[in-house]
């Protein structure tokens, strides 16, 4: 089975699970817990009311995120970057898990941006965290999403990416957007 089918299936599974559990814009959990900011997750930001972006949370921080009401984890790191099974750990805590492996700037593609956009749509107003190692790839992929899917200018897309954690990859993201015709 191709990675595209696996990821598409994962997004559909996430959407179906959210639907079955009644996890839509009208849930009783449609707010972020202010305690999340106190967890000291690496480079934690809250670019949307229900979504956090960050670097890699520790296993203990993932437990604390679950205890604080976070329902979904979207991991942009390839499995080869960690020495523990994050998916297994996240699911054991009762949260859903989606992997969109982004290997550096080369992984900042329109295809991956579509996957992330689908995940964000499926998550709705449930509290979620999207992470990579430092938050930089999260912001980079958001910038690609903003330009290629949301129709933002390159400068607007980069600015939004920075709100989500884009830092040192900004020049590479700008170059990639230029290469893509934005």
Distance CA 40, CA 12 (A): 32
Q: Give the span between the Cα atoms of 69 and 140, in whole angstroms.
A: 26
Q: Is the pLDDT of residue 20 over 60?
A: no
Tell me how far apart the alpha carbons of residues 136 and 177 are, in angstroms, rounded to a whole number.
Answer: 16
pLDDT tens per residue across span 67-82: 999 999 999 999 999 9
Tell me how far apart the alpha carbons of residues 75 and 97 are, in angstroms, rounded to a whole number: 8
Q: What is the pLDDT of residues 158-176, one digit of tens each?
A: 999 999 999 999 999 999 9
Chain-wide mean pLDDT for the chain?
Answer: 87
Lowest mean pLDDT among 8-17, 21-30, 45-54, 63-72: 21-30
**pTM higher than 0.75:** yes
């Amino acid at each position: 089975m191709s990675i595209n089918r696996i990821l598409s299936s994962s997004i559909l599974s996430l959407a179906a699970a959210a639907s079955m559990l009644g996890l839509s814009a009208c849930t009783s959990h449609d707010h972020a817990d202010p305690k999340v900011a106190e967890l000291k997750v690496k480079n934690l930001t809250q670019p949307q009311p229900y979504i956090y972006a960050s670097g890699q949370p520790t296993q203990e921080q993932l437990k604390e995120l679950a205890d604080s009401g976070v329902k979904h984890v979207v991991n942009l790191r390839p499995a080869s970057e960690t020495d523990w099974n994050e998916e297994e750990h996240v699911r054991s805590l009762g949260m859903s898990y989606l992997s969109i492996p982004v290997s550096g700037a080369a992984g900042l593609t329109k295809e991956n941006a579509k996957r992330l956009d689908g995940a964000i749509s499926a998550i709705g107003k449930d509290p979620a965290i999207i992470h990579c190692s430092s938050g930089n790839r999260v912001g980079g992929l958001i910038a690609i999403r903003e330009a290629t899917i949301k129709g933002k200018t390159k400068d607007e897309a980069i600015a939004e990416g920075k709100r989500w954690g884009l830092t040192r990859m900004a020049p590479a993201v700008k170059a990639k957007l230029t290469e893509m015709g934005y």
